[in-house]
Amino acid sequence: MSRARLFFSRYGLDLLIVIAAVESAIATALSDAPGRPTGVLLWLEVLVVAAIVLTLLARRRFPFAAPAVTWLASAAVSFADGRLIVDKAGLFLAGMGAALLLGNSRSDRQARIGLAIVLSGAAIVIYNDPLHQRGDIIFTPVLFAIGWLLGFALRQRTERTEAAEERATRAEREREAAARVAVAEERGRIARELHDVVAHAVSVMVLQVGAVRHRMPLTDTEDRETLRNVEHAGRTALAEMRRLLSAMRQDGDELELLPHPGLDNLDALADDVRAAGLPVKLEIRGEPFPLPPGLDLSAYRIVQEGLTNALKHSRASHAEVDVDYSATELLLEVRDDGPGGPSAEAGLGHGLVGVRERVKIFGGDMTAGTARTGGFVLRARLPLDGGAR
């Protein structure tokens, strides 16, 4: 059934044109009008009538020329035989279809020329009909002009639809571009934070190696030289890391002199959100233990984003934060009682980009969306490696 529907949607009009051409040719061949030609002339008229209708099959390649030729050829043939065009149902349908196509021309200039062709062609065909009535010269062109007007109205509707689709496509491209920019910016921010953490750890290592080297006996030259090489490599790595961080920082970014926050700072974060007007309940499950600095910072940022969303976007009156420590993973959940829906999710895009990128770094997963019972829920799972404790 779907194949038949697809076939008729694609070739249905072509099939109708062929049927109209066959009907016109048969009607011409079987005509018993007085004075009709016979022999070669009759078959010539049959071919001409069929060709006039079949010209519309070229409408896709020649959207203006094909329907225009249909009308111009009809007018020209009417000079040779005034009754050849007017008494064929297939030719009438072809003329109406050609008028509609001319009205549907993309160019206003071509559409206006098409209207002139339709009106003059119809008037010529009726005038050359020896049996025409006085009012036919006015009524018939007006009838085909209505077909032209219908095509013109359809063209305007099509243009509005295409313009709307173009705007939607452009908006989608802009959203995708904004999302890519947001991902790049967030990855840069995460990289800067993690580089700060790593730089601090390398600095501590370098200082400890230097302290050990200075305490070693002067006679242990081989081990002292090895530690000196390690210390030199560490200082070189720190210099390269600072150069990389300087390149990654955007214009106007200030160096962060305060320590990066972690889950130990959740109480202060909850107090700040409460001071902003949103009651927050914080619950810690399991026995807290020291986390790797990068993971600790990312976990804090994830909770921070969840509470920021609850405060700014979801119109919530209450929020809850659950932090669940286990031996293998850290589970985070931020939920609120806001109404949810489009208004609640309107500002989520770029914020959740950061959460998703942070979770991806540590091989975890996350979900975010409206809960069945209402409100918005953000869940994240961060696996812990063997050195987390």
Span 109-128, pLDDT tens digits: 999 999 999 999 999 999 99
pLDDT recorded at residue 181 = 74
pLDDT recorded at residue 311 = 80
| Alpha helix ranges (H) inside the chain | 2-29, 40-54, 65-80, 89-103, 108-128, 136-215, 221-248, 266-275, 293-312, 341-345, 348-361
Q: Can you tell me which residue has the tokens 């790049």?
A: 184
Question: Per-residue pLDDT tens for 226-249?
Answer: 888 887 787 787 777 667 666 655
pLDDT recorded at residue 148 = 92
Report the DSSP beta bridge partners of residue 282: 321
Asked whether the beta carbons of 334 and 307 are under 8 A apart, the reply is yes
> For the whole prediction, is pTM greater than 0.75?
no
- Mean pLDDT within 307-320: 81
Confidence of residue 258 (pLDDT cuts 50, 70, 90): very low
- CA 66/CA 55 separation, integer angstroms: 6
Token pair of 288, please? 């807290």
pLDDT recorded at residue 245 = 63
Neighbours of 388 (CB within 10 A): 18
- CA 384/CA 389 separation, integer angstroms: 9
Report the DSSP beta bridge partners of residue 376: 370
Question: Per-residue pLDDT tens for 5-56?
Answer: 777 677 778 888 899 889 888 988 887 766 667 778 888 888 999 999 999 9
Output 7-14 pairs: Cβ under 8 A, ≥24 positions apart: 14/57
Q: Residue 122: what are its φ and ψ, rounded to 5°?
A: -65, -40
On the question of pLDDT at 308 being above 60, the answer is yes
- CA 387/CA 328 separation, integer angstroms: 11
CB-neighbour burial class of residue 86 (10 A; exposed 0-12, middle 13-18, buried 19+): buried
Q: In the chain, what's the furthest Cα-to-Cα distance?
A: 132
On the question of pLDDT at 212 being above 70, the answer is yes
**Higher local confidence (pLDDT), 367 or 315:** 367
Confidence of residue 321 (pLDDT cuts 50, 70, 90): very high
Question: Per-residue pLDDT tens for 165-183?
Answer: 888 888 888 877 777 777 7
- CA 265/CA 286 separation, integer angstroms: 17
Question: Per-residue pLDDT tens for 341-364?
Answer: 433 344 445 677 778 888 888 889
Tell me the percentage of the chain whose pLDDT exceeds 70: 83
Asked whether the beta carbons of 324 and 330 are under 8 A apart, the reply is yes
On the question of pLDDT at 333 being above 70, the answer is yes
pLDDT recorded at residue 360 = 86
pLDDT recorded at residue 247 = 62
- CA 24/CA 91 separation, integer angstroms: 6
